[in-house]
Structures are given as structure tokens and as C-alpha cells.
Amino acid sequence: MTFMLQRPSEERLRSFLRNRKDAPFSYGEVGASKAGATEGYVVDHSRAELGEGEGTFECAIEALRKWRMFDLGWAGVFPPEAPIEAGAVVGVVARPFGLWSVNPCRIVYVINEERRFGFAYGTLPGHAARGEERFTVERGNGDSVHYDILAFSRPGPLMKLGYPFARSLQRRFARDSLRAMTDTVLC
């Protein structure tokens, strides 16, 4: 991961991601977020109720497909039109405190069930952390709709230097992502 004073151009972002298209994941437990927590990693789990009913569920699915959980102002996904499909490579572009960074990820799997939709992506070389993050929307038996984030991670080499700062950013992302989805799914 590198830090930049200016937001990288689309051309630079596309080149950065193209160079990681075939890179191996930067952790060994690929797909482990299907089962939940993973030993040896810090686990973060956040959940918010979005509303009730089929309409809310469909709106939440569409929000995930459009990466609305990353509409945070200080973070986003590139390319923003990236399809939610296994193998798609994206960059999490963030500017939490004045410096820009790009963290590459690849979608590991997609969940497309009758009452649950989502996906997980895993980190690639060049990401500040190593691990996986799963984003799902679920329609419960009582018809309530929830947005759920489950992540397991450990610091990459650079992240070790500023680990408390990095952990605060991970918590901030979860909090802001829950808010973004709650605000988006008011349809």
C-alpha cells in the first residue's frame, strides 16, 4: 500500500488493479468468512436493521450491487460499477486523514439465496491488512431486513506500524457503512 497526497487518477487506479488481477490472496484462509470467525485473526461483526418486507430487501440487494455501503465520503470502491461476481477485483480507495490509499481486493464468493444476498472479498498483496470481509443483507423470519458485516483481519507489514490507528479506521468503516446502508435503503 502506498500513500498519496492526491486522489489517484482513474488511469492509475485501473493500472494498479490490472497489475493485481492474477495476484494470489494475501492470506491463506480464503472463503473462511462463510463459517464465521477465524482463529488467529481479529474479528469484527456489525449489524443493523434496515426495515421490513420484500421492498426493503430488494432495495438493500440493489444497494449492495451498487456498492452503496462504501458511499462514505472518505472511502469508496473503484471501479464503482464493478460487478458483484466471484473473481472481480476492486480497490478500496480511502482518504481518512488527508492521505489517499488504495487497497486491492478480489471477490471470493457470492451469496444469492431466497432470503440472503451478499458477497465476501479478500485482500490482495498491497492491501494494508490481510483477511476477508463479508457483506450481506438478510430477510429474517419475522420479515425484518438486516445488513451485516463480518470481517477477519490481521495487520499487513505497514499496518503494524500504526495498528491502533488502523483498528480505529476499521471500526469507523463499519459504523459509517451501517449508516450508509440505513440511509440508502429508505426507499
Strands 89-94 and 100-112: antiparallel
- What single string gives the DSSP state of each residue in 100-138? EEEEEEEEEEEEE-SSEEEEEEEE-TT-SEEEEEEEEEE
The CATH number that domain 3-184 falls under is 3.30.530.20
What is the rounded CA–CA span in Å between residue 21 and residue 154? Answer: 22
Q: Given its phi and psi angles, is residue 134 left (phi above 0), alpha (psi -120 to 50 degrees) or beta?
A: beta
How many other C-beta atoms are found inside a 10 Å radius of the C-beta of residue 25? Answer: 20
What is the rounded CA–CA span in Å between residue 89 and residue 38? Answer: 23
**Cβ atoms 126, 104 nearer than 8 A:** yes
Name the CA dihedral angle for 30, 46, 81, 83, rounded to a multiple of 10 degrees.
Answer: 40
**Residue-level pLDDT, tens digit, the chain, 187 residues:** 567 788 999 999 999 999 999 999 999 999 999 987 678 899 999 999 999 999 999 999 999 999 999 999 999 999 999 999 999 999 999 987 788 999 999 999 999 999 999 999 999 999 989 999 999 999 988 899 999 999 999 887 766 667 777 788 889 999 999 999 999 987 5
What is the rounded CA–CA span in Å between residue 85 and residue 96? Answer: 28
**Cβ atoms 95, 7 nearer than 8 A:** yes
Q: What is the pLDDT of residue 1?
A: 56
Map out the domains of the chain as residue ranges: 3-184
Q: What is the pLDDT of residue 159?
A: 67
Q: What is the pLDDT of residue 145?
A: 97
Q: What is the pLDDT of residue 131?
A: 94
Q: Which residue has the cell 485482500?
A: 123
> Can you tell me whether residue 160 is helix, strand or coil?
helix
What is the rounded CA–CA span in Å between residue 106 and residue 154? Answer: 17
Q: What is the pLDDT of residue 97?
A: 76
Tell me 9's DSSP state.
P
